[in-house]
Chain A
């Protein structure tokens, strides 16, 4: 089962390594991870998507709290989830379908971000499961895509 936790940590030397090492040492998976400083504070927020049964999640949360620089671990079923993905299409693959691509991208809060003589780049922002669907659809229809995903970010409703 996939779950997302949001972790507020003190910005100090090695804090990311501490968190990631804990996952590695105890055999927990990290599906995605995003980190950025919290404005005007000495904290950062990490958003970690992981997989495991509820018992493992309970341990993950406890083990995170056990790390000294961890201030708060937020677990919720009521997160707004957003992830960004960028897809680079070879222009020759899609030059006849630009309108289609643009229309689909809009369905996923996205647009064509860049076009040059070789590629077009589409960026979309949406829930991770919807991003999955979008990417699957694109990958079926078009070849030789380059895909970058940001990892999920969440905020409690």
Chain B
């Protein structure tokens, strides 16, 4: 069967079981779009901006665990997609991005809509390809999907010149790929695992430090079982929220800059940190010289380059968290004395009691934390939550009662404002039966609000809760704390849209609320709405995210809470 390059793209996507492609057409990718028009095996969702398309594919991938697929044209199409690709890259999200390119004969001539696409995506992809011959195309697509989902997942970019989409060749989709230069290590070294288990049994103050890799490897059931059995205190990173249920007695909350005091003290005082697919990010460790000074480290990670990158690691284990824990569990359970951690847990319980996460609720103004807690009470337990980036993101991570992994979609590594709404749309496409809520801010939502039309057109009713303080809140908070309250370019009070009208103009429903009862009433309506909903919640303008580890300070120097007024 001889097919054109464009047809090969379509057939290959079908073979990969792709159900939805998020994209935006343009000159160089037109032949592929022509074939999309002719087929009915997968759906194409037309975004309003390439960045939106890529975030949608990302949200789809985060919520479903499948590879997200995005398609864009050459030049500006591709450069618009970069923020989306980089967002997925820093959070290790499996994704394939296909871009059109000017014909091979025009490459290097500064042709119309030409950009060195593989040059631009190289630093923000796991791997990328420029397809020079149509004969290579099917194999490259196969390889791209394989690379995206295997090992440490990540986005892979395929750049296809227009003449390659026209050229014909015999189509045979390869059964499998075998790369001699790429062999991820899945199974941990047995001796290393045994040594690590012995260290855990010897430890007095161990802590499980659960990271995003635990979500990606699907290890949560094992982790829950191990934590329940061993009763070892556990903390989660932003990317790992939901691995343990929020009400687990062994979960001391999120660790890091806006983590709970108990979680940070658990890391600070531990004598053994067991890292499960986490990477000791600077937002977690605080000042690195002061980080966990008395702790040995067991670091389980599928990416060897993460081990020893930030902290000295006494027990390195390269492998998939799930497979390593499977191996570890029987030897760990064999003869472990779980009472020995009782004293340690008591200390942490005391920290938790002394400095719990809290806020000063109010009857006059709406507190953002209250909105999040209330939403957690009213929403179904299997709701999918996304966020943008800023104060609302941290409040959500702190106060939302997460119950399962892949429930919380947030741009952790790159911190991309504008991620939340398109990611929510992508998640809704992948999980139609679930309620999808995007917590956002009045700054972030404006970055991709055009995608409202996508929610309207494709009937993907997601709920946006705008925690509106008329500030770029997180920057405002830092300005207040570290720049003597000089609010340089962060006050948005005089430049806000009317979110209700804006929503209505794009086929969505908008509400503006400034009282608690109103919020509850409107949220109930939102749950059953068949349109995209925007709830513009006027919150206490000056609320800060607390507690907080000031930048480059040790974890133990947390700013706790303001005195109650």
Chain A residues in contact with chain B, CB under 8 A? 9-10, 13-14, 17-18, 21, 25, 55, 58-59, 62-63, 65-66, 68-71
Decide: B181 and A62 in contact? CB cutoff 8 A: no
Decide: B181 and A70 in contact? CB cutoff 8 A: yes
Contacts of A55 in B (CB 8 A): 308
A16 to chain B, nearest CB (A): 12
CB of B187 within 8 Å of the partner chain: no
A75 to chain B, nearest CB (A): 14
Contact pick for A69, options B118, B181, B303, CB 8 Å: B181
C-alpha spacing A58/B123, complex, angstroms: 20
C-alpha spacing A70/B182, complex, angstroms: 8
B171 to chain A, nearest CB (A): 22
User: Given A62-B305, A63-B305: A14 and B182 within 8 A (CB)?
Assistant: no
Which parts of B441-474 form the interface with A (CB within 8 Å)?
Answer: none
Contact pick for A14, options B122, B181, B304, CB 8 Å: B122
Contact pick for B122, options A17, A65, A66, CB 8 Å: A17
Smallest CB gap from B119: residue in A: A17
CB of B127 within 8 Å of the partner chain: yes
User: Given A13-B132, A59-B305, A68-B127: A18 and B122 within 8 A (CB)?
Assistant: yes
Decide: A14 and B147 in contact? CB cutoff 8 A: no
CB of B180 within 8 Å of the partner chain: yes
CB of B493 within 8 Å of the partner chain: no
Decide: B182 and A68 in contact? CB cutoff 8 A: yes
C-alpha spacing A25/B305, complex, angstroms: 15
Decide: B305 and A66 in contact? CB cutoff 8 A: yes
Quick one: which of B126, B305, B308 has the most chain A CB within 10 A?
A: B305
User: Given A62-B304, A68-B179, A68-B182: A25 and B123 within 8 A (CB)?
Assistant: yes
C-alpha spacing A142/B126, complex, angstroms: 51
For B93-126 the 0/1 string (1 means CB < 8 A from A) is 0000000000000000000000000110011001
B10 to chain A, nearest CB (A): 24
B514 to chain A, nearest CB (A): 47
For B71-82 the 0/1 string (1 means CB < 8 A from A) is 000000000000
User: Can you list 27 residue pairs at the A/B interface with Cβ under 8 Å?
Assistant: A13-B118, A13-B132, A14-B118, A14-B119, A14-B122, A17-B119, A18-B122, A21-B122, A25-B123, A55-B308, A58-B308, A59-B305, A59-B308, A62-B304, A62-B305, A62-B309, A63-B305, A66-B303, A66-B305, A68-B126, A68-B127, A68-B147, A68-B179, A68-B181, A70-B181, A71-B180, A71-B181
4 closest A-B pairs by CB: A62-B305, A68-B127, A71-B181, A68-B182
Size of the chain B interface, CB-CB below 8 angstroms: 19
Contact pick for B130, options A14, A21, A59, A65, CB 8 Å: A14
Decide: A10 and B181 in contact? CB cutoff 8 A: yes
C-alpha spacing A14/B303, complex, angstroms: 23
C-alpha spacing A69/B132, complex, angstroms: 17
Decide: A59 and B118 in contact? CB cutoff 8 A: no
C-alpha spacing A55/B313, complex, angstroms: 12
C-alpha spacing A65/B302, complex, angstroms: 13
B374 to chain A, nearest CB (A): 44
For B264-303 the 0/1 string (1 means CB < 8 A from A) is 0000000000000000000000000000000000000001
Smallest CB gap from B309: residue in A: A59
C-alpha spacing A63/B152, complex, angstroms: 13
B192 to chain A, nearest CB (A): 16
Decide: A21 and B123 in contact? CB cutoff 8 A: yes
Contacts of A63 in B (CB 8 A): 305
Contacts of A17 in B (CB 8 A): 119, 122
Smallest CB gap from A18: residue in B: B122
Contacts of B179 in A (CB 8 A): 68
Contacts of A68 in B (CB 8 A): 126-127, 147, 179, 181-182
Contacts of B305 in A (CB 8 A): 59, 62-63, 65-66
Contacts of A10 in B (CB 8 A): 181
Contacts of A71 in B (CB 8 A): 180-181
For B10-41 the 0/1 string (1 means CB < 8 A from A) is 00000000000000000000000000000000
Contacts of B119 in A (CB 8 A): 14, 17
B206 to chain A, nearest CB (A): 26
C-alpha spacing A107/B163, complex, angstroms: 58
Beyond known contacts A55-B308, A69-B181: 18 more, CB 8 A cutoff: A9-B181, A10-B181, A13-B129, A13-B130, A13-B132, A14-B119, A14-B122, A14-B130, A18-B122, A21-B122, A21-B123, A59-B305, A59-B308, A62-B309, A65-B304, A68-B126, A68-B127, A70-B181
Smallest CB gap from A69: residue in B: B181
Smallest CB gap from B307: residue in A: A62
For B156-182 the 0/1 string (1 means CB < 8 A from A) is 000000000000000000000001111
A40 to chain B, nearest CB (A): 16
Smallest CB gap from A8: residue in B: B181
B394 to chain A, nearest CB (A): 28
Contacts of A58 in B (CB 8 A): 308
Contacts of B126 in A (CB 8 A): 68
C-alpha spacing A133/B179, complex, angstroms: 44
A153 to chain B, nearest CB (A): 22
Quick one: which of B119, B129, B181, B303 has the most chain A CB within 10 A?
A: B181
A7 to chain B, nearest CB (A): 11
Contacts of B132 in A (CB 8 A): 13
B236 to chain A, nearest CB (A): 26
For B374-412 the 0/1 string (1 means CB < 8 A from A) is 000000000000000000000000000000000000000
C-alpha spacing A59/B309, complex, angstroms: 7
Contacts of A18 in B (CB 8 A): 122
B540 to chain A, nearest CB (A): 41
For B346-390 the 0/1 string (1 means CB < 8 A from A) is 000000000000000000000000000000000000000000000
B153 to chain A, nearest CB (A): 13
Contacts of A62 in B (CB 8 A): 304-305, 309
C-alpha spacing A14/B180, complex, angstroms: 18
Smallest CB gap from A68: residue in B: B127
C-alpha spacing A18/B308, complex, angstroms: 23
C-alpha spacing A71/B417, complex, angstroms: 38
A106 to chain B, nearest CB (A): 43
A46 to chain B, nearest CB (A): 14
Contacts of A70 in B (CB 8 A): 181
